[in-house]
């Protein structure tokens, strides 16, 4: 009897664990919306002279200011730990929102960076500081821009112009943005959250187009 009992437990335990995690799948199927209807950058000048919009894209958005060293350092971390994994996903884009005064130096930096990454896929929107402030403030985060229109935090904005993040993070409670200076935070939290939102949209696409399944 003991032998059959042990075998029964060993058989049932994996099934019970599977059912437990499967039942919780819906809790993790969507990345929470923290701010609705953020201000778009449509109409800003761009590095390609083509219009840039958050709408209908899954966006990683950065405000790295006019200091070239900040732009270089933070963008390098972000690109290597997050972005280069996702450039080939449809509708995914990385948007840098920078002061107009940084345009010349940034263009040179992007060109030089092409040797080591897909910097040609970066989309850069340029505007005056007050316009950048309007966009940043519309995110309604606890973070602030400094006098150079800089923040180390990067943000996830979805196709409907909603800011996504975490509302139950064990370290901070709410996570509106991810610190681009912190490699561990990029590797763990942000990478996981980008995966979640991409999976969310892939699942929605399959549901809406069952013939492609």
Residue 25 lies in a domain: no
Which DSSP helix (H) or strand (E) runs through 95? strand 92-99
Give me the domain span that covers residue 121: 31-212
DSSP-assigned letters across all residues of 123-187: EEEEE-HHHHHHHHHHT--S----TTSEEEEEEEE-TTS-EE-EEEETTTEEESSEETT-HHHII
pLDDT tens profile 97-146:
999 999 999 989 998 888 888 888 899 999 999 999 999 999 999 999 99
For residue 3, what pLDDT is reported? 54
User: Domain with 81 in it: what CATH number?
Assistant: 3.40.30.10
Quote the mean pLDDT of the chain.
86
Which DSSP helix (H) or strand (E) runs through 201? helix 191-208
Neighbours of 7 (CB within 10 A): 10
pLDDT tens profile 88-103:
998 999 999 999 999 9
Residue 6 lies in a domain: no
pLDDT tens profile 7-17:
555 555 554 44
Which DSSP helix (H) or strand (E) runs through 29? none
Residue 190 lies in a domain: yes
- The mean pLDDT value for 44-57 works out to 93
Residue 23 lies in a domain: no
Residue 67 lies in a domain: yes
pTM value is: 0.83
Residue 155 lies in a domain: yes
What total of structural domains would you count in the chain? Answer: 1
pLDDT tens profile 139-173:
999 999 999 999 999 999 999 999 999 999 998 89
């Amino acid at each position: 009897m003991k032998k059959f009992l042990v075998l029964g437990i060993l058989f049932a335990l994996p099934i019970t664990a599977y059912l437990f995690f499967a039942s919780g799948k819906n809790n993790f199927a969507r990345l929470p919306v923290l701010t609705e209807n953020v201000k778009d950058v449509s109409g800003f000048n761009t590095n390609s002279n083509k219009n840039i919009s958050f709408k209908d894209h899954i966006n990683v958005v950065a405000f790295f200011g006019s200091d070239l060293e900040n732009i270089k350092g933070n963008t390098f971390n972000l690109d290597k730990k997050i972005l280069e994994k996702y450039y080939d996903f449809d509708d995914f884009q990385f948007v840098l929102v920078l002061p107009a005064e940084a345009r010349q130096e940034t263009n040179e930096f992007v060109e030089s960076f092409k040797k080591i990454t897909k910097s040609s896929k970066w989309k850069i929107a340029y505007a005056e500081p007050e316009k950048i402030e309007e966009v940043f403030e519309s995110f309604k985060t606890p973070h602030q821009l400094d006098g150079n229109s800089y923040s180390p935090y990067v943000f996830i904005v979805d196709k409907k112009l909603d800011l996504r993040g975490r509302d139950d993070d064990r370290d901070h409670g709410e996570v509106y943005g991810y610190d681009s200076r912190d490699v561990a935070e990029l590797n763990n939290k942000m990478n996981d959250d980008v995966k979640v939102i991409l999976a969310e949209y892939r699942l929605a696409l399959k549901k809406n187009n069952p013939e492609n399944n």
